[in-house]
Amino acid sequence: MSWVQGARVIVIGAGISGLSTSIRLARCGAVVRLVDMRGDPSAIAGNHPSFNLTLGVRGMRVLEALGIGGAVRRSAVFALERCLHRTDGTCEHERYGRADEGIYSIRRSALLGELLSLAQQESNIELQFGARATSASADGLVGLSCADGSNETAEFDAVIGADGVNSSVRGFMSQLAPSVLSSARPTGIYYSEIYVGLGAECAGPLVHIWPRSPSFLISFPNRSGPTTVLVFIDRKGAQRPSKADVLRVARAAGVGSGLVEADLGQIAQLRTVQSSSWSSGRLVVIGDAAHAIVPFLGQGANAALEDSEVLLKAIKEAADWTSAFERFELVRRTEMDALGRMADRHFDELSGGLVDPDRRQRTRLRAKLSVDNPGSFRSTYNAVAFTHSSYLAAEQAYQEEEAQIDRLLTQGRNR
């Protein structure tokens, strides 16, 4: 991999995928320029309200390898259980996985802060804030527009677009090759954050879920400060909900007494990304820029971290940037397609399935079979959050196990 030593790489976007990829590339000897259109590092890792991310074993393994696993664990709350709030006011506790399997709940700003300070320690990374990518070509020419009003065009050996769901780099790629079809598809599902904390009844290291089909609310524990609550509303293609609509859903669930509109964050629509190609010559997109999915399995950031690992492995195995980027897509696309399908389906689980009596019966049977067959009969969530098995394998195993559960339930009814 000597060809990477001293290579000049620009990474566009200092989010989770951009930071983790820059650190890995710098450690392999590349000279990295990491740019973000946001004004300064504190805007990325500041104290502004920021909803939580949950990290399972996939994301944690990458953070351990980077050397910040311990720091992230210290900033996070480890949740072994979730609490399901029914419409009749009762509440059921459910373990996430087996024995000590749980998820880390961490403020996005805290995770970005850890990654950012690691990047700042790498002498091979030049960080630049307030720099927006305005063009990029397959042979490495990148245009930047800077906050001080200046414009710059510079040439790089490789261009990595880690610029999120509304990626400009993905757009530049489609302009270069009109055969590349890409879109950030609106899902009709909206979300908003509630800024006030929950009462003492929701304290402790628990995730709380209020399934209220076609909506649900979910809250994540924090080490300090208020609990983070997110409201998701499926409008099924109808008009965008207003703040009054979001308040109605939250009040009906009994969340955050005395809530007013000022307690709500922006209302945003979830978008998913489809792109017929992730690379063009020496230009590639990663993370949400390549494959944004709905967040119902809490895997987007985990997958963005894993992307940096898969990309670096592809680079190590290739002889040049173009073939490395093609290899990255070949390995990763089927995986991310499977994760996207599973995440889409999981909305029904969170908004209703978790408390639906028929689904509960299946869950209990699955739990029993899982004890009898260690290693299999995991729920979709369990398989993606607590195993390193491929996303595609997790999807296939789940479908086969569902068919088996169907057969057992039919046999039970016919007896």
Ligand X SMILES: Cc1cc2nc3c(=O)[nH]c(=O)nc-3n(C[C@H](O)[C@H](O)[C@H](O)COP(=O)(O)OP(=O)(O)OC[C@H]3O[C@@H](n4cnc5c(N)ncnc54)[C@H](O)[C@@H]3O)c2cc1C
Chain residues in the site for ligand X (CB under 6 A): 12-18, 35-38, 44, 51, 53-54, 132-133, 162-164, 168, 191, 230, 287-289, 295, 298-302, 304
Instruction: Name which of 16 and 246 has its Cβ closer to ligand X.
Output: 16
Measured between alpha carbons, how far is 77 from 394 in angstroms, rounded to an integer? 26
Q: How far apart are CA 207 and CA 85, in angstroms?
A: 11
Minimum Å gap between C-beta 415 and ligand X is: 42
Shortest Cβ distance from residue 402 to ligand X (Å)?
A: 24
How far apart are the C-alpha atoms of 353 and 241, rounded to whole Å? 23
CB of residue 10 vs ligand X: minimum separation in angstroms? 10
**Beta carbon of residue 222, minimum distance to ligand X (angstroms, whole number):** 13
Closer to ligand X at the Cβ: 51 or 377?
51
Contact between residue 382 and residue 398 where contact means Cβ atoms under 8 Å apart: no
Copy the structure tokens of residue 115.
């990654």
Q: How far is the CB of 373 from ligand X (least distance, A)?
A: 28
Smallest separation (angstroms) from ligand X to the CB of 270: 6
What are the backbone dihedrals phi and psi of residue 141, each rounded to the nearest 5 degrees, phi first?
-90, 125
Pick 116 or 377: Cβ nearer ligand X: 116
| Side-chain-facing half-sphere of 142: CA atoms under 13 Å | 28
Nearer to ligand X, 53 or 247 (CB): 53
Let me know: does 120 contact 127? Beta carbons within 8 Å.
Answer: yes
Phi, psi for 368 (deg, rounded to 5): -65, -45
Nearer to ligand X, 128 or 213 (CB): 128
Task: Select 106 or 198, whichever has its Cβ closest to ligand X.
Answer: 106
CB of 115 to ligand X, least distance (A): 10
Amino acid, single-letter form, for residue 118 = L
C-alpha angle with apex 300: 402 to 44, nearest 5 degrees? 160
191's tokens: 């979300």
**Do the Cβ atoms of 284 and 161 come closer than 8 Å?**
yes
Q: Which is nearer to ligand X, 38 or 107 (CB)?
A: 38
**56, β-bridge pairs:** none
